[in-house]
A and B are shown apart, each in its own frame.
Chain A
Amino acid sequence: QVQLQESGPGLVKPSETLSLTCAVSGYSISSGYYWGWIRQPPGKGLEWIGNIYHSGSTYYNPSLKSRVTISIDTSKNQFSLKLTSVTAADTAVYYCASSPDFWSGYSRYYYYYMDVWGKGTTVTVSS
């Protein structure tokens, strides 16, 4: 059973870079699936940030694309989020999540939902 745990600084200064890590247990990240980040500002709704496939391919929210990088570290079985030039608007609870895949014959297919979520980590942008 996949389990996810976010970690990183709880406080980031404006204009600096927000860096978070999601540790994966119960599954080898190099085996498949794809992995993503979602955030939720205080009192507001969910916002999808981006995904990374086990192959390294990435997809980002167009509104954040210029500032976001998601990467995978297979040696540590974790994936990471970097968000540059942060402002108070980036203050949020950040969640990591996984999306499963399956094989049919010799082809890999992906499911289009997030079935396992981390508990979330709060990041505040303030000087």
Chain B
Amino acid sequence: QSALTQPASVSGSPGQSITISCTGTNSDVGGYNYVSWYQQHPGKAPKLMIYDVSKRPSGVSNRFSGSKSGNTASLTISGLQAEDEADYYCSSYTSSSTYVFGTGTKVTVL
């Protein structure tokens, strides 16, 4: 299984909105509404930010939102804050009952 494709980096100024894309295939992203997003700060474990494409776990800011169209899922961070600077990974369930992660995106707050 191939890693899902994400842009290597995305940047924005405080208060702005940014969107990270995650492109897969009909066998993963396009086939199921089981896309999740994880935030990872340096030296830390990943943290679940979005699950089932667009649902937020309790405690996650509503500035984070998710969507999907066809084989591409997206994570939008609105009202960008300094604390949002981190690496972000998408993940999808697959038709083989496995999981695949995205290549990862480094978010920089200018």
Q: Contact residues of A with B, CB < 8 Å?
A: 36, 38, 45-48, 50-51, 59-63, 95, 111-115, 117-120
Which residue of the partner chain B has the closest CB to A4?
Answer: B45
CB distance from A3 to the nearest CB of B (A): 12
Q: Given A38, A48, A111, which contacts B51 in the complex, CB threshold below 8 Å?
A: A111
Contact between A113 and B98 (Cβ–Cβ < 8 Å)?
A: no
Contact between A112 and B34 (Cβ–Cβ < 8 Å)?
A: yes
Q: Contact residues of B with A, CB < 8 Å?
A: 1, 3, 32, 34, 36, 38, 40, 45-48, 51-52, 57, 89, 91, 93, 96-104
CB distance from A59 to the nearest CB of B (A): 5
Contacts of A48 in B (CB 8 A): 91, 98-101
Q: Given B3, B36, B96, which contacts A113 in the complex, CB threshold below 8 Å?
A: B36
Contact between A45 and B97 (Cβ–Cβ < 8 Å)?
A: no
**Interface class of chain A by DSSP:** loop
Contact between B91 and A113 (Cβ–Cβ < 8 Å)?
A: yes
CB distance from A55 to the nearest CB of B (A): 13
Contacts of A61 in B (CB 8 A): 1, 98
Interchain Cβ contacts within 8 Å, total number:
65
Which residue of the partner chain A has the closest CB to B36?
Answer: A113
Contact between B98 and A60 (Cβ–Cβ < 8 Å)?
A: yes
Contacts of B104 in A (CB 8 A): 45-46
Cα(A119)–Cα(B40), bound, Å:
12
Contact between A118 and B103 (Cβ–Cβ < 8 Å)?
A: no
Given the known inter-chain contacts A112-B32, A115-B57, please indicate yes or no for A95 contacting B101, CB distance below 8 A.
no
Which residue of the partner chain B has the closest CB to A36?
Answer: B99
Contact between B32 and A46 (Cβ–Cβ < 8 Å)?
A: no
Contacts of B48 in A (CB 8 A): 113-115
A-B contact pairs, 5 of them (CB 8 A): A46-B104, A111-B51, A114-B48, A115-B57, A117-B47
Q: Given A63, A112, A117, which contacts B36 in the complex, CB threshold below 8 Å?
A: A112
Cα(A51)–Cα(B97), bound, Å:
10
Cα(A95)–Cα(B93), bound, Å:
18
Cα(A60)–Cα(B34), bound, Å:
18
Contact between A117 and B1 (Cβ–Cβ < 8 Å)?
A: no
**4 tightest A-B contacts by CB?**
A112-B34, A113-B36, A113-B51, A45-B104
